Amino acid sequence: MSPLNDGPTWPSAQFPDQTQLDVYEEGLRIMAFGGKVPTGTTPKDVVYTRNKTTLYRYRSKNRRHATPILLVYALINRPYIFDLRPESSFIKFLIDQGYDVFLIDWGTPGWEDRNMDFDDYVGEHLPLCVERMLRASGTDDYTLFGYCMGGTMAAMYAALHPENLRNLVCLTAPFEFSDTGLYGIWLDDRHFDAQQLADSLGLIPADLIDAGNMMLRPVVNYVGSNVTMWDRLLGGRDMTSFLALNKWVKDGVAFPGAAFAQWITQFYQQNLLIKGEITIQGEKVDLSRISVPLLNIAGEQDHIATPQQVEPLNEIVASSDKSFLLLPGGHVAMLVGSGAQKGLWPKILEWLDKRSD
């Protein structure tokens, strides 16, 4: 027998059928363009606008609490993370519990907004939104709820404007920047000039910011996310929640250059907030002026705002009623992950219910 005929007999090649090809095509489309599912669907009305900033009020037919809640999110992501899907909407949860809920959407900055900084957002836009919210809600006090950078901004505002403020809730918001892990290495002022970057670009692209955040945990964020997607697709599992979150992650917002330079230089590089040396429209932000009830929450696995960056707020404020919660979860999973409805949400509700009437 010829040597060419010796050895094992190989099975014929197995080609995927049309159904499998459709699954592969869908996976590649998701990787390239993100998800296509409705998000932010809870009915709402526009209360006020200023430049790109919009104040929304969510419709509720079952208001049982006099104290409204004003939600503040970061400048660099879309705030519909609060209302991702009906089954994972923190806003819908609050409305169903009888709260009057408002949300600030900072909008999408244009080239003309490149010089906007925290003087504009915290010193001008936020006070006007608070004024319109109180007028619309018909109350004299409110709860300020900030998430991520929005929590930092909310605490800054609370220190500057304690009037009418009844409660402050901060979720995964950084306050202490002396040890920021990889961020601290990358943003070291010896080799990173935030002002030069801002002057050069005007608006810092969302993709650039997202790439930096993703590189904090590259295996999880790049490989792990795709593994999860293919596992769900090939297993025929429901993709709705994955697609909604995937859509939000890819739906970033550019960072106005002036605010970016201020955030990197004064917060990350110089750690001025915790020192009381940040100024908004000429007035120093002294976090020790905060005296209202405070709920400050960190995630054990949060690598964006680590627990050691979050907790120091409780050490500075003058509030006699203050709580720090350290819960399982990461920066985003804390609010919209599978365990949020049994973990974070009931704890926030229990705290609010005792302090909202």
Integer-rounded Cα radius of gyration of the chain:
23
For residues 181 and 27, give the distance between their C-alpha atoms in angstroms, rounded to a whole number: 33
Between CA 101 and CA 95 the distance in angstroms is 7
Let me know: does 100 contact 60? Beta carbons within 8 Å: yes
Alpha-helix runs per DSSP H in the chain: 18-33, 90-96, 118-120, 126-137, 149-160, 182-186, 194-201, 206-214, 218, 225-234, 240-250, 257-262, 272-275, 307-310, 312-316, 333-336, 344-353
Q: Is 6 a catalytic residue?
A: no
Q: Measured on CA atoms in the order 253, 258, 261, 264, is the torsion positive or negative?
A: negative
Instruction: Compute the C-alpha angle 293/71/286, nearest 5°.
Output: 50
What is the C-alpha separation between 80 and 101, in angstroms, rounded?
A: 13
Q: Which of 45, 331, 353, 357 is catalytic?
A: 331
Catalytic residue among 65, 125, 129, 148: 148
Determine whether 65 is an active site residue. no
129 flagged as catalytic: no
Q: Which of 105, 117, 120, 302 is catalytic?
A: 302
Among residues 44, 99, 35, the alpha carbon closest in space to that of 67 is found at 99
Under 8 Å between Cβ of 119 and 280: yes
Q: Distance between alpha carbon 246 and the CA centroid of its chain, in Å? A: 14
291, burial (CB in 10 Å: exposed 0-12, middle 13-18, buried 19+):
middle
The one-letter amino acid at 345: W
Per DSSP, 289 falls in state: G
Distance CA 217, CA 287 (A): 31
CB 222 within 8 A of CB 299: no
Candidates 74, 31, 95; CA nearest to 332 is 74
**Which are the catalytic amino acids?**
148, 302, 331
